[in-house]
Chains A and B, each alone.
Chain A
Amino acid sequence: KAGVTQTPRYLIKTRGQQVTLSCSPISGHRSVSWYQQTPGQGLQFLFEYFSETQRNKGNFPGRFSGRQFSNSRSEMNVSTLELGDSALYLCASSRGTTSGGTDTQYFGPGTRLTVL
């Protein structure tokens, strides 16, 4: 079974631009969560999408948004980029339900975004 894939793996943008990151979950998984990883703040939850609807949201400004398509693939968008948005953005997929136990999240390799 293929794992979680994220594209692109690396991005360089300048302040003020916007960026879209993509995540394809494991086949059969309906939940996609996004996390930001920085040296200063560590791993922080951005949001979760399940069946094309945002189900949970972290404490990030409205410049960070996402969506999920009917095939469960998800995109994350950051508008008006700031230097502090430089980070590794990780996507995780899971079944999305807790029937049968933990709804374990499996992570992709991440997209490293550098804002200049």
Chain B
Amino acid sequence: GEDVEQSLFLSVREGDSSVINCTYTDSSSTYLYWYKQEPGAGLQLLTYIFSNMDMKQDQRLTVLLNKKDKHLSLRIADTQTGDSAIYFCAFKAAGNKLTFGGGTRVLVKP
């Protein structure tokens, strides 16, 4: 079955880089996504990567995909207090169904 794992918590100092990791089991993933959720809010799409890519950079965000190890990571450069939130990785295989990880709570300390 489908399984997506994320670490529960990450603490980082303002200005440092954050790296959030995600592992998955379904090798038929086509697109992989990163969403951000702030308290009391829905999910905000941050970025996505197609499964035939290794890396994608979008301003402060860098996504790395290792298909062999089924490992996805999101690096946030120059982390700010506004980056404090829960981050979810998700993948899409067939159809339009997203399978989500459990989320990583990122706390940015001043």
Interface residues, chain A, with chain B CB atoms under 8 Å away: 4, 6, 31, 33, 35, 42-43, 45, 48, 50, 55-56, 58, 90, 92, 94, 96, 101-110
The verdict on A102 contacting B50 (CB below 8 Å), with A42-B103, A43-B88, A90-B42 known, is yes
Asked if B102 contacts A56 (CB within 8 A), the reply is no
Residue B18 CB within 8 A of the other chain: no
Nearest B residue to A88 by beta-carbon distance? B42
What residues of chain A lie closer than 8 Å to B33, measured between beta carbons? 104
Asked if B96 contacts A104 (CB within 8 A), the reply is no
For window 65-95 of B, CB contacts with A under 8 Å fall at 88, 90, 92, 95
Asked if B96 contacts A33 (CB within 8 A), the reply is yes
Asked if A48 contacts B45 (CB within 8 A), the reply is no
What's the nearest-Cβ distance from chain A to residue B46, in Å? 11
Asked if A48 contacts B95 (CB within 8 A), the reply is yes
What's the nearest-Cβ distance from chain B to residue A56, in Å? 5
Prevailing SS type, chain B contact patch:
strand
Asked if A56 contacts B96 (CB within 8 A), the reply is yes
Partner of B99, one of A4, A45, A94, A108: A45
Asked if A107 contacts B31 (CB within 8 A), the reply is no
Partner of B96, one of A4, A31, A101, A107: A31
Bound Cα distance A96, B99 (Å): 17
Asked if B100 contacts A55 (CB within 8 A), the reply is no
Residue B10 CB within 8 A of the other chain: no
